[in-house]
Structure 1
Amino acid sequence: MLCTDQRKWSAGLWFLLKSCLVTLLRDDWPKTDQSENNISSSLGPVVKKKQRISTLPDELPSLVEIRRSLPKHCFEPSVARSLYYVVLNVFGVGLLYGGLIYLERLMPSYIVYAITPLYWFFQGTLLAGIFVLGHDCGHGSFSKYTLLNDIAGNILHAFLMVPYYCWKLSHKNHHKNTGNIDKDEVFYPVRKKNDSGGRMLPGFGLGFGWYAYIIRGYSPRQVCHLNIFHKMYANHSLDCAISIALVTVWGMALAFYAQTMGLWALVSHYVIPALMFGTWVVIFTFLHHTEEDVPWYSDTKWDFVRGQLSSVDRDYGWAHYFIHTIGTHQIHHLFSKIPHYHLDEATAHFRKAFPHLVRYDDSPILPSFIRMFKKYLRQSVISDEADIHIYQ
């Protein structure tokens, strides 16, 4: 089973490197039996290409009832399988980096200039995959072992200049309060009394905006991910300090790289791909919970299941498995302990059991991001008394 999937993933990566285009990948790991395979293959046709529901039923199934509709093995992480994806991702990053170094040394400059932007894009995409694997560590879906999760998460996120444990806690706050106007972590509607009147950078600043969020947080409920004394990090100061220390060490290594290889080498080989990764994160994080007819609730109207169902499954096409199925988001939010490699299967079962609760949109990603960003600019400041907010 491992070898079969390795051939599929490697073939896709080779095609990416050979032609600078990535083929569509529609199958992940081989399923354990034929019935499981049939479930997963029906993921798309279970719902329409767009399924938007602005009003949920008053009576929703409980989390326990939804969980009963999912296979038990979907909740079981595998250390070997999780590490396999890490090795595969790191191998891909190294292969792209080595390929660019080879071209820079042996090829005419005009070829290097033509190829380098493709390197930035695809390397940034693979870095986004590394981020998602670290994100799984934070949720405990990487393995059953907290220590292993935190070690792997710290290493993976430090490589991206992200303090793992600090972000793990702020992201936990997002999952605890998804769709809550008054408590969610990022990209939430802002009440007039809290609106500073500041201007929003186009596309939230994309990759620059991501790192600004790490440093400053999202206004008006700002959380600096470098301040171990923030109240969100109470009782976790040492864990946060370790993550920040690892980011600092990696930053020193990058400074040494610039000193040795040159500033442009650092910018081209690492900084721009890292900004591309940040762009990916801003785009898919925003689109996870922002779409027409997706409701946001005041704290008095919000409950956990209702809030998590304000998540949207999206089709990221060729990138779906390179960013580890993060676009399959409703089930991830309902059950964040499900490993990414079981999300498609669990989602298929959820859609069969509760088709009236599904939110799915396969519109092209960039046009969707631009469209919803424009709506966000016009409609995200809401009245102080609003109980429900829906983008129109």
Structure 2
Amino acid sequence: MDTPKVSIILPVYNVEHWLNETVISLQNQTLKEWEAIFVIDGSPDNSEILLKKYAENDSRIIVLTQENKGQGAARDHGVKNAIGEYLLFLDPDDLLAKDALERSYSRAIEIDADIVIGDYVQFKDGDICNPKPSKAGYAFHEDFSGLEDRIFVRDDITNDNFFYNSLYFMVVWMKLFKRKSWIDFNIKAPEGLTMGEDFMTVKKMMFLSKRIITVDAVLVYYRRREGSATTLRSEKAFGIFDSYFFTRNLYKELGLSDHENTLMHAAYLDWFYAHLLKFTPLNLSLNFFKRIQETVNEFNFNELDTNLIGRKRLMSIKLLNFPEIIGLPIYVVINIFSSKIHNRFILLILLFVKNHMPKYIFDKLISGINNILESGRLKKIHPILKKIMFHLLRN
């Protein structure tokens, strides 16, 4: 086998149904000098058997096994055994565009890049996907406006919402990483996390890299599966708090500026709220809100620029001082009112609160809002509180 130019690392757990398509997308690559390292992460299905059959006929396919330690540990295991000049991480139910490796690798060696960032296309599981050569989409060009076609570093990314909330800077896939840089920077997935592994891995690599560039091509076809980790409400939502503490320590380890720390804290405030609404089981919402309260109490506001935190987040932080039975509904509604969400959705939530909340809790909520209005505190949110009162008390 020729020395691989790219090592593709694929952590495997319960994906036997999709492996055939993924392997075909690898074998159809226009660049032939690659190795695919499948790491069986204690998977109980037939993935290992299927992959070993492929490996018998294609020496570029390598199958490793380990006890179930999670996706991050599986990727780390794959990197230790990789010999390619560049690394590409791929979930084994996703697909590579036919020219993904050729276009990203050619771009990488043009300027000896540490990181090459490409685009992705999402498709629903069960739909026919035909990965073919294509240019990157409108969103890619819009998001990287001013950064395309040149080498850049973190300081060149002035849109901080883009840096902290875009998949282009939050996940390890649809990117090529120089293996030497990855090893020199000691990039490893945090242990013991149920979420946020990608975020910390990519952010560390981004902050340390001196040569980042884009490639105008779709690299990955991302399969959206019902029942995947990102579509279920479960206790895993609480993993966002462990993610925060790992990230806070990483930023200290890297000696990042107060400005960068503030931006990171602001992002986590948004993610706490998003996880509360999207991923937390409803019966655990109060517990999740308590965890937000406890975590925000550990923020060192002397090191944070409140102007960067923003008005909406500061209002939310103040509400975290209220008992959860009162603070939670106000916290949610204020965040919704502060977002560009249709009023009808807000009214439905308020109607739900009115009709389903126990009377004694409802009375406490009304009393709490009245106390805020009468005390003159939190004047900036009084218009919102008055709207809430109006809809809760109307017949």
Alignment TM class, shorter chain as reference:
under 0.3
Q: Which has the larger radius of gyration?
A: 2
Give TM-score scaled by structure 1 length: 0.22
Structure number having the greater strand percentage: 2
Give TM-score scaled by structure 2 length: 0.22
